Structure formats: C-alpha cells, structure tokens
Amino acid sequence: MLLSLPFGVLFGFVGSMPLAGPIALLVFGRGLRGAYRSGLAIAGGSAIAESGYAFLAYWGMAQLVTRFPRTMLASRALAALVLIGLGLYLVLHQERPGIEVERVREHPRSSLALGFAVTAFNPTFIATWTAAVTVLHSLRFVPTTLPAAMFFAVGVGCGIFGWFAAMLWLMRRWRERFHPATLNRLLQAIGLVLAGMGVWSAASLVYAMLS
C-alpha cells in the first residue's frame, strides 16, 4: 500500500517535466517575471486538482467522464476561455520591471485558485491518469485499494509540486542573464501558445458537439 506513494511521486514528477501544458507555461511565465511565489502557488493549485484526478483514475472512476457529459463539456468550454484570456493578456501586456512583479507576489491565493481552476476544468486529465494507472497496475507492484489510491494521489501531488519548485529554483538562479526585452518576447510567445491551446480546445469541443 505504501509503495503507491513513491510511485505517485515518480509519475507526478516525470509527467510534469514537458513544457507543453498550460500549467507548465504559466509557471514558467511567472518564473520569467521573477514572481516565484506566484509560480509556486499556481503549481500547488494544479497539484491539488491533478492529484484528485489521479485518485479517481486509480480508484476506477473513469466512467464519470461518460456519466456526466454535459458537466464535462461545460468544464472544457470554461477551460478554453480561461486559456484564451490568459494567452491574450500575456501577448498584449508589456512588463514594467519592479512594479508588476511585486503586485503578482502579493496575491498567492489568486494564483493558487488559477492553478486549481485551469487543471480542474480539464477533465481529460482523468483519461491521462487512467492510462498511467493502467500501466502501474499491470506491473502488480501496488494493490487496487482505497488507501493505496489515497497514497498514490498524495504522491502525485508532491511529485508535481516538486518538479515545478525545482524548475522555479533553477530559473531564479539564471533569470538575471535574460535581457528585459527577451523576457517580454518569451512571455508573449507563451501567451500565443496558451491562446492557441484555448482556440484548439474550443474548436475540438465544437466539432465534438456537432459530430
């Protein structure tokens, strides 16, 4: 049972490494701005939500996605709007050194809520974790019990937060080497990617509803 905890940490840590998801891009963007506490709060909120999906997947509740289709569709639509809004903000907003960073650092609760919402409103995570848990169960190293599912979920949350904390630590150490203009261009690029994710998510949702 306790073995599910380190497996959760491993899956959460490794699974968070690619800079391809919205949370990774948001945390990376906060790190570029020097808002490390805000980045940690976003990572913490995301870790809480994603560990919940990991728990549901481990406990064999992936059927929730098909049992409540309207709720899932609404969540995907809201997630698309959030991503588009965040992306446009980063594209259009120009950093003013020494002002915006301090303002962001003063609102860790809103950053925590943002990280939680972006992840919680993306029910596709349960499919991702169902696939990961299927692989884990096939190894027969962990039992399929409720306590094991809870330990696995806690491990996943710790692994996700641990990766982003390590990433922000590295960014804090090397951030001073970036020119402010370069930082702005990187933030705008991140904004374009986030907005593109939102548009793609909205388009795929409309296609799914019409087909």
Residue pLDDT, tens place only, 129-145 = 887 887 777 667 778 78
Residue from 189, 208, 10 nearest 123 by CA: 208
The one-letter amino acid at 125 = F
Mind listing the pLDDT tens digit for each residue in 10-63? 888 988 877 767 888 889 888 888 888 999 999 999 999 999 999 988 887 545
In the chain, where does DSSP find H-type helix?
A: 4-15, 22-32, 36-58, 64-67, 69-92, 100-105, 108-120, 124-138, 146-174, 180-210
Contact 38, 104 (CB under 8 A): yes
> What's the average model confidence in pLDDT over 119-123?
83
Return mean pLDDT, the chain.
78
Q: How confident is the model at residue 165 (pLDDT cuts 50, 70, 90)?
A: very high
> Long-range contacts made by residues 101-104, C-beta under 8 angstroms, separation at least 24?
101/33, 101/34, 101/35, 104/30, 104/33, 104/35, 104/38
One-letter identity of residue 74: A
Does residue 98 carry a pLDDT above 50?
Answer: no
User: Which pLDDT score is estimated for 51?
Assistant: 95
Q: Can you give the C-alpha Rg of the chain in angstroms?
A: 18
Among 77, 122, 80, 90, CA closest to 187? 90
- State how far the Cα of 111 lies from the Cα of 36, in Å rounded to an integer: 11
Percent of the chain with pLDDT over 90: 21
Q: Per mean pLDDT, which range of 63-72, 165-174, 175-184, 194-203 is the poorest?
A: 63-72
Q: Give pLDDT, residue 70.
A: 66
